[in-house]
Amino acid sequence: MSIQNPLWQVHNALWSLLESDSEFTTAVPSMNRIKYTSTTDRYPDKDNTLDADFPCLRIRSIGGVPRPHRTSNSSMIELKWSIEVFSGDRRFSDDAQRFMDVWWAIYKALVNWQAYLYNFTWDGNAFKVRYCRASEVEDRLTKQELHYRQNGWQSVWIGDTDIWFTTTDLTS
């Protein structure tokens, strides 16, 4: 994988954005952050889990909308992503409150997106993120998709990020 690829740069910047928030790093230990950018771990999801494995969180790319020639001199990709939180607990007790702590930390971090998603370069050319937004959040009490034997609260944040390029940089 090329870390210079604009899509990877934005994906990694989303992680940096979350991990810059001290409430997030307190609520989600680093061992519980499921990252699909590893160069060695082909299957970062855990097959078996313990209470210490929760809450856990992952960021996934869920598609996008390519918009070449969006303006007379620029092109754009609307990159769609999800931030998924798994609580491993069905209760709203002190332990389960960690779930809402993560929810709050994600919200706070996303408000600060402009501090982390800006002024990137690819192949010597500048590109910009002009918008990063969570469009909806769905919380549900379920048997969790990530850990089939684990029940608990799950929160799925759906969002998108507008990545803008100068069209001539893409065609030269």
Q: Which residues pair with 34 in a beta bridge?
A: 58
Strands 33-34 and 120-122: unpaired
Task: In whole angstroms, give the CA distance from residue 155 to residue 45.
Answer: 17
Query: Under CATH, which number does the domain 6-37+51-153 receive?
Result: 3.30.2000
Tell which residue, 80, 35, 81, 78, has the closest CA to residue 57: 35
Listed by start position, the domains of the chain span: 6-37+51-153
Does pLDDT of 37 surpass 80? Answer: no
pTM of the model: 0.85
Q: Are 120 and 161 in contact (CB under 8 A)?
A: no
Any idea which residue has 């060695």 for tokens? 40
Q: What is the pLDDT of residues 126-143, one digit of tens each?
A: 999 999 999 999 888 776
Query: 55 preceded by cis ω (within 30°)?
Result: yes
Secondary structure (3-state) at 96: coil
Q: What is the pLDDT of residues 46-101, one digit of tens each?
A: 666 666 677 889 999 999 999 999 999 999 999 999 999 987 776 666 555 678 88
